[in-house]
Structure 1
């Protein structure tokens, strides 16, 4: 398997530079929009109405005008651009003061080495509580952590990425994604049964067990497949830019770190006041007639800024106590260096932003998803075969439409009513969708954070490219797919509830149930 994965990596790394690759993808979208121009599908909207969506050529007069006028907006509007730069501003200063390095060294001392990998994967799964922050916080920290242990840093990067992205739907707590998907599922279910109710906890039991599953499988894949494939690592592969000195922290460094952590704890406590009361600045007022509204939505929207502050302030305290920061000019210089190191990513973001915008504006994503749904409906499966077919379609659709909520917004009105008529409950359909969407998250080219993950990898291996990343992540995708599918099938065969009050089968369609 290692030889096979290395061959994939070699082939993938022969592909053009990631920036050039995204240029070619954008051009491919333009070409596809010409070839499939005019192909239309009917999409059911949230209000129950039907809207016709058709592929629009980007090489028409209107298309060319749109591409030229929207280029800057596509760049600025590229979803990860702002969050990545904001978070990396805080992390960059923390790296340059040595705050992160000393923290990781002390972590290595406190956590048994046998649990480092599983802890990293589990932290990645749980990071979905903080929206997308795990991509820009945990993924680079995973690489730094493994490098400090003398292990291949790309294995640490892969383990964190697998937890953050592959386990995005799983968690021990309710995240912002749960009410978002539940509202769409509930609305789609009303097409068949206006009295049916889907809540934010409808998949809770299943997702808690899925958290354990992803952690165990992700740890096994990291240690048994990915690390042997990557082999030994030398700092020379990073061009001498990475400090892997794992010397014992001095008493002065330990004291400075503890004071900095205490500062961070006080700061975190102060931030909790932003959501502690009904009228708090980052808390949404939710009435009794709005059960699906996430009252912490404003908090999650501000999470990147809060994380930046939580890194920046303790890092400055640490730098002052260790004399690495003598005045405000030192902080400004560190912040400038941090942003300068993101130059490659900013260039990638411009091109990737055009590619994603072209794909959405041309309606290629919506048409592809609806055509796939129609194909599945024509197969006329029932029961577990139907569910597995839908899981495959969800996984494939994730390769064309990245956003889980946006994809479910136009898939739910099609699949939920159809499967209710075949005897499957809306909660079961939603859980299956979440599994399919998760297992290909780590290999889809439409992952918005893919460019920054490649940049993180190249920090430790100058030769790393798209092929290296795909080869490292493909085993996770396959293993998650097999294990999660078996869990779903076993859950159905045992008749276990997916969540509080959730059913596996839709009883009103018992005559059509498997």
Structure 2
């Protein structure tokens, strides 16, 4: 009787299931075609549900009636043609991605980024590389969406240099940035934004109630560690076994193959540390623009406002600042290593980078139409409100109600991408309702952030999904969207389970969500 294959050589059940899901998903059309189909589905849905309406709370706090508008009406057809270019130019990630990629492209082509990754590999134990990458990605929410553009391609580049599958590095980085967007060790720009909406909703029931930006701080600090551990485990135990070994011959012509993990030479180290010193000076100048009260990037703070409010313009300019942070040390490294001999070399490196972004620009045009169609028709907002009303009608109480709300938040993220816009019309419905059930506004906000984060990883409405596809095709030129989304699915499921358990434990044990913040609420005079 022939001996069976060793157990460790067989893919585990989870990997086998994911491989089948990926195979089915890879039968989907090209991502460009897929966005065209989804845009067409929105057009049809807008005609089928035309006239459906709901009361929706705007971010300004005003209540308005939104009605589904048909894109097949005279007005809708006219709008689609006249707004097509605006939809393309207004596609949120387009400008930031291209801007940041100018800086990254020059730094990469001079060898500065590759050298930095080699120094990182030489400095950090290999067993900690994945965790270090994921943690950096979670913390990147300090600079808004920049982590998607900067750290996701670097994750792939890092893994390629280590001889690991670059799609696993890309997936780990994307999961860390998108799944951990609501977790951080510091207060980010998202915290006061959500706190204002939560407090505004709470005031409809209790006019004296106030919610501040540190409302979920303790919970989010622990969540940062949770996301780092879970995404690291999923990468090494599920994603890498599913992807198997990577063969550089699978890469597109854009992949240079120069990424190596060996010990850097003395001349390379010298050039790198000179460039790093220049980068430190640039970084200090960039930080000064945010710290100095007289900086043109600082905003005045209204009485009673928070210090973070002064950084709104600073964060608005963060993509330009990051491009500068990469391009200056990149140029210095290139000059020292003689890969840059004149300004023409820098110009060519920048233009070559933009040349590789052609596929993304085309994809962004179609994705921009899809997102704009969804917003113009009001389908997303009305779907979210109807889902909230349905949950309210079920009549759940206690922990089942909180978990059901978390599930609705996760589901709504598949229809409305923006965390703040979604919370603007969900908070006025759920916060007062759950306050009457004994839950504090802060714990409702925490549950919302968990639900929103776990499906960030897989939602097709994520504006940065197109650029992730383009980054992935650099290393596996024939990769399909089915493989990409299936690769991300384990992160979403694992974070959904573990983060939900953390929330349950937090509430059941009565742990403070932030300084002086409880998970429970008692009606005044109740």
* TM-score strictly above 0.5: yes
1:469 to 475, 484, 491: 484
Say whether residues 1:94 and 2:97 are aligned partners. Answer: no
Distance 1:148 1:49, change over 3 A: closer
Bigger Cα displacement from structure 2, 151-160 vs 243-252: 243-252
Distance 1:46 1:105, change over 3 A: closer
- Cα drift, residue 501 of structure 1: 2.2
Q: How many pairs were matched up? A: 511
* Residues 124, 160 of structure 1: 8 Å contact kept: yes
- Cα drift, residue 422 of structure 1: 1.3
Alignment match, 2:318: 303
Q: Which runs of 5+ in 2 are unaligned?
A: 1-13
Distance 1:509 1:492, change over 3 A: farther
Instruction: Give, in whole Å, the separation in 2 of the partners of 1:297 and 1:26.
Output: 33
Residue 447 of structure 1: SS of its match in structure 2?
coil
Alignment match, 2:237: 224
Distance 1:61 1:106, change over 3 A: same
2:426 to 411, 433, 436: 411
- Cα drift, residue 470 of structure 1: 0.9
Say whether residues 1:215 and 2:228 are aligned partners. Answer: yes
TM-score by length of 2: 0.95
Residue 294 of structure 1: SS of its match in structure 2?
helix
Instruction: Give, in whole Å, the separation in 2 of the partners of 1:235 and 1:404.
Output: 38
* Residues 395, 438 of structure 1: 8 Å contact kept: yes
CA shift digits 1:392-444 (9 cap, x unpaired)? 00000000000000100111111111111111110010000000000000100
Instruction: Give, in whole Å, the separation in 2 of the partners of 1:74 and 1:399.
Output: 20
* Residues 59, 421 of structure 2: 8 Å contact kept: no
- Cα drift, residue 48 of structure 1: 5.6
| Aligned-CA RMSD value | 1.3
- Cα drift, residue 13 of structure 1: 1.4
Instruction: Give, in whole Å, the separation in 2 of the partners of 1:494 and 1:235.
Output: 50
- Cα drift, residue 287 of structure 1: 3.0
Distance 1:312 1:291, change over 3 A: closer
* Residues 142, 156 of structure 1: 8 Å contact kept: yes
- Cα drift, residue 275 of structure 1: 2.0
Alignment match, 2:206: 193
Residue 417 of structure 2: SS of its match in structure 1?
coil
Say whether residues 1:279 and 2:294 are aligned partners. Answer: yes
Say whether residues 1:336 and 2:344 are aligned partners. Answer: no
Instruction: Give, in whole Å, the separation in 2 of the partners of 1:47 and 1:131.
Output: 21
Alignment match, 1:288: 303
* Residues 156, 166 of structure 2: 8 Å contact kept: yes
Instruction: Give, in whole Å, the separation in 2 of the partners of 1:198 and 1:11.
Output: 46
Residue 249 of structure 1: SS of its match in structure 2?
coil
- Cα drift, residue 290 of structure 1: 2.7
Say whether residues 1:446 and 2:451 are aligned partners. Answer: no
Distance 1:187 1:338, change over 3 A: same
Say whether residues 1:130 and 2:130 are aligned partners. Answer: no
- Cα drift, residue 285 of structure 1: 1.6
Instruction: Give, in whole Å, the separation in 1 of the partners of 2:366 and 2:289.
Output: 37
- Cα drift, residue 242 of structure 1: 3.6
* Residues 189, 308 of structure 2: 8 Å contact kept: no
- 5 Å-filtered alignment, 1:311-330, equals 311-330=326-345
* Residues 398, 444 of structure 1: 8 Å contact kept: yes
1:432 to 432, 438, 447: 447
Alignment match, 1:501: 516
